[in-house]
Structure 1
Amino acid sequence: MPGNTAWERRVNATSELKWDVQQRLKLLECTVLLTGWVRTQALIETFGISRAQASKDFAVYHGLRPENLIYNKSRKYYEASAVFEPLLLSGKASELLDALPLMQSGAPVVALSAQSPAMAMVKPLERELDWSLLRAVSRAICQQIKLQVSYQSMNRPEPAVLTLSPHTLVYNGFRWHVRAFSDTHEAYRDFVLARMRGPVVLLTEQGIPDGDDTAWHTLHEVAIVPHPELPPAQQAVIAEDYGMTDGRIVQPVRQALIPYFLRMMQIDPRRLDPDPRIQQIVLQDVAAVRPYLWS
């Protein structure tokens, strides 16, 4: 059944497009939204496609959104119409972030437009990743076997040799870790890849499956609201910024990943800023997530 919202209707209209076509059209839309116009040559040079394919992309886009783009014959480019409505972009900030690397590198899509806005992006410090270690852990996951590794925990001064049954690689927004059953701890835990020291030894023993990892397989709905001590007008602005409905937004999160999510969103109950102007969002129900916090 077709969706009722504008975004659902857009999803239905584009669901049958090939993935590569969707990516090109998304970048096309990002460019038009930021600069107001785009040339066919932009797609050709950015994606290394033929002029015929680029023209076809524009034709596909025009077929789905005939009112969005107008061809300017004198300047030989497409520009946004007064009634422009995104087809593939949902309005999430991450969509623009996906396009920023191309824009920052001076890719033709944006370089062709002299009116592109100045942009800057703050990113966290890069974490080092040992590729040989990553390959070994990934292989153990794929083959469902155990591995042995020396692990430097922050709870002890020296590394300890652990036997793990890894089942999932996780990126928590800042660094990589692996979710695994530890024979040493007799429990499922998270192990930071950067704390694994020395070579990883792959064992022939079958790994412990993830079926009993209840915290991994159980989703918990984390409800977030504007800080209640903010004035109503400021709460309304925060609610709109996060796309809240009725003054809150609910994010399903695996129980095992709740501490990472809270830290990433800066709403860990133990680390809140006392100033509501700084701590603009909070958990609606702290007690509901307290059992999943790190001790």
Structure 2
Amino acid sequence: MQVEDTPTQHAERNLDVFLRICLSIYHANIKTEYTMTVKSLSELETLRGGAALKARLKHVDDRLKWFGYLRLADHASKFGISEVQAKIDIKTYRYLSPTPPPERKPGPAAGSLGAGAYLRPEKFAPVFDVPASMDDLWATRFPEARTDEPLSLEVLSAPEHRIEPDDVRALLAATELRTSCRLRYQSMTSAEASERIVCPHAVVKASGRYHVRAFDFSRKRFIDFSLPRVLSSDLLPDHAPVPATLDDDWHKTVEVEFVAHPRLSPAQRSTIAREYGMQQGASVITVRRAMLFYLLDEMRLLKAIRQQDKDLADVPVWVKNSKYVADELASMESET
């Protein structure tokens, strides 16, 4: 027996159809605005929302350059946009790119990356002609909104730790995919480069360099690999991975209590407390034990903590719980 809809149900159904039509027209207009009229990056500046779109396109460029692929869902999640808008971003990028990534493969054809993945073409040319910097992978920068003279900012240019995308692409992909990888690595404790099979699980920026935290099958422990010293890398999807949960130093945390150095005057200690945002004269930083070395190194306190001598500290801060921190540092270093 067929039951007729009530007037209320008719109204709800009509409203649903109306909204679907409006959304279709809205998304079609967005697609036309960005994919049909944008012929160069410079034109983005003239569009409403062009700065935000340019930042998203830069992220697509960086993902293909450094990782070799981009997943649609990840792109949408990073920028808090819908998958419809993410698809528009990809189509805009493909339109601007001299070497556009192929259309994504649905279902099983997508392989281990899953559906919605766009792969870097074999002959790839970036859309953004700027020096390769991994900083752009983690921070999305938007242009300055001031219309008058911008604030003068002088940035010190220190020697750069260069990373070649071709050398580390497979290693970064292995880190995200939680699979193993073969790499050639030049350690500073060995005269010649050596081949390593590793299973990476995290990327860290510390002491001015990028590192990958990975299980080294030859040494049978988790250690850090400096990305600038990776000479080549290749995925080993058939090699058994090592779970990141086994990395005890990564999961154990250490609390480091920074205070103004005791040798300072009361007025100086007050200023240092304000400079470092200390509460009640102290700033407690919780750090992974695997990263403790880098924290102390960046604070220029490594030697002083190791020798438990505050007079060796040439900075205006000290570690109040220095004995505990020194013991944790020694425990970690004895394992490596």
Shorter-chain TM range is 0.5 to 0.7
Task: Verify the 8 A CA contact 1:136 1:202 in the aligned structure 2.
Answer: no
Task: Verify the 8 A CA contact 1:148 1:203 in the aligned structure 2.
Answer: no
Q: 2:275 aligns with which of 232, 241, 246?
A: 241
Structure 1 equivalent of residue 205 of structure 2: 171
Q: CA separation in 1, counterparts of 2:210 and 2:299?
A: 17
| Cα distance change, pair 99–150 in 1 and its aligned pair in 2 (3 A) | closer
| Structure 1 alignment gaps of length 5 or more | 1-44, 51-97
Structure whose alpha-carbon radius of gyration is higher: 2
User: Could you report, residue by residue, the CA deviation over 1:124-159 in whole angstroms, capped at 9, with x for unpaired residues?
Assistant: 432211212332012212332211112211111112
Q: 2:316 aligns with which of 257, 276, 280?
A: 280
Structure 1 equivalent of residue 99 of structure 2: none
Task: Verify the 8 A CA contact 1:152 1:197 in the aligned structure 2.
Answer: yes
RMSD: 3.0
Q: SS at the partner of 2:238?
A: strand
Higher relative strand content: 1
Structure 1 equivalent of residue 166 of structure 2: 132
Structure 1 equivalent of residue 153 of structure 2: 119
Q: 1:254 aligns with which of 271, 281, 288?
A: 288
1:211-222 alignment runs, 5 A limit: 211-222=245-256
1:1-295 alignment runs, 5 A limit: 48-49=47-48, 102=143, 107=144, 109-110=145-146, 112-114=147-149, 117-270=151-304, 274=311, 278-290=314-326, 291-292=328-329, 294=333
Task: Verify the 8 A CA contact 2:185 2:231 in the aligned structure 1.
Answer: yes
| Cα distance change, pair 197–221 in 1 and its aligned pair in 2 (3 A) | same
Tell me the CA shift for residue 196 of structure 1.
1.8
Structure 1 equivalent of residue 132 of structure 2: none
Q: CA separation in 1, counterparts of 2:321 and 2:200?
A: 32
Q: Which amino acid in 2 is paired with 1:245?
A: Q
| Cα distance change, pair 230–125 in 1 and its aligned pair in 2 (3 A) | same
Q: Which amino acid in 2 is paired with 1:240?
A: R
Q: CA separation in 2, counterparts of 1:243 and 1:48?
A: 41
Q: Normalised by the size of structure 1, how large is the TM-score? A: 0.59
Q: Which amino acid in 2 is paired with 1:113?
A: D
Fraction of identical pairs, as percent: 26
| Cα distance change, pair 286–140 in 1 and its aligned pair in 2 (3 A) | same
Q: SS at the partner of 1:261?
A: helix
Task: Verify the 8 A CA contact 2:171 2:235 in the aligned structure 1.
Answer: no
| Cα distance change, pair 159–223 in 1 and its aligned pair in 2 (3 A) | same
User: Could you report, residue by residue, the CA deviation over 1:208-245 in whole angstroms, capped at 9, with x for unpaired residues?
Assistant: 01111111011111111111010111000000111101
Structure 2 equivalent of residue 23 of structure 1: none
Q: CA separation in 2, counterparts of 1:151 and 1:179?
A: 14
Moved more, 263-272 or 142-151: 263-272
Q: CA separation in 1, counterparts of 2:199 and 2:152?
A: 48
Q: Which amino acid in 2 is paired with 1:174?
A: G
User: Could you report, residue by residue, the CA deviation over 1:218-276 in whole angstroms, capped at 9, with x for unpaired residues?
Assistant: 11111111110101110000001111011110011110011111112222244889587
Q: Normalised by the size of structure 2, how large is the TM-score? A: 0.52
Higher relative helix content: 2
Q: CA separation in 2, counterparts of 1:199 and 1:181?
A: 15
| Cα distance change, pair 279–178 in 1 and its aligned pair in 2 (3 A) | same
Q: SS at the partner of 2:239?
A: strand
Task: Verify the 8 A CA contact 2:184 2:194 in the aligned structure 1.
Answer: yes
Task: Verify the 8 A CA contact 1:273 1:279 in the aligned structure 2.
Answer: no
Tell me the CA shift for residue 199 of structure 1.
4.1
Task: Verify the 8 A CA contact 2:197 2:218 in the aligned structure 1.
Answer: yes
| Structure 2 alignment gaps of length 5 or more | 1-43, 50-138
Q: CA separation in 1, counterparts of 2:142 and 2:207?
A: 17
